[in-house]
Amino acid sequence: MRHAGSGSVGRGAGLIWEGRTPISTFLVDSSAVSLTLSPALCRAARGLLDWTQEDLAHAAGVSRSTVRDFEKGRHDLHRASEEQILAAFDAAGVALIPPDGGGPGVRLAGSRG
C-alpha cells in the first residue's frame, strides 16, 4: 500500500498509520492523519456499492481515467484526488478496514439512503 501525505482532508475515510503499520480506521475531520487507498480497496469499495468507475468518478469529482488508471496500477493518485475519492466512499457509507491478520478490506459503516 502507498502512503499519502497528511494535510487538511475534510471529512474522509482512511487508515491511521504509525510508521508503516496501520493502527486504526477513521471517519473524522482531521489534518494530522495520513490517508491510504490501494487499487484493490478502491475496486472492493466500488463493488460493495455496485458503482461503476464512472459512478465513483462522478461522486468524487474526478475523471474516469483517474479512477481507471489508479485501479489498474498505472499511477498513484494525487493527494487531492485520493481525498475526494475517500470522501465519496465515506458519504456513501463505506469504511476501510485495517489489515489485521485477514488483510485490509471495506465494509458499509451504516445504512444510508
pTM over 0.85: no
106 — pLDDT class (breaks 50, 70, 90)? confident
Please report the beta strands in 1-113, taking only residues with DSSP state E, as ranges in sequence order.
Answer: 11-18, 21-29, 94-97, 105-108
Any idea which residue has 485495517 for its cell?
A: 98
pLDDT in tens, 1-19: 333 333 333 344 455 445 5
Q: CATH: 3.30.565.10, 1.10.240.10, 3.40.50.2300, 1.10.260.40. Which one for 11-94?
A: 1.10.260.40
Residues 6+ apart with CB under 8 A from 46: 52, 53, 55, 56
C-alpha grid cell, residue 112: 444510508
> What is the model's pLDDT at position 102?
73
- Answer whether residue 40 shows pLDDT above 50: yes
Q: How confident is the model at residue 110 (pLDDT cuts 50, 70, 90)?
A: low
Label residue 109 by pLDDT band (50, 70, 90).
Answer: confident
* pLDDT on residue 10: 38
**Average confidence score pLDDT of the chain:** 75
The pLDDT, as a whole number, for residue 34 is 39
CA angle 107, 49, 79 (to 5 degrees): 75
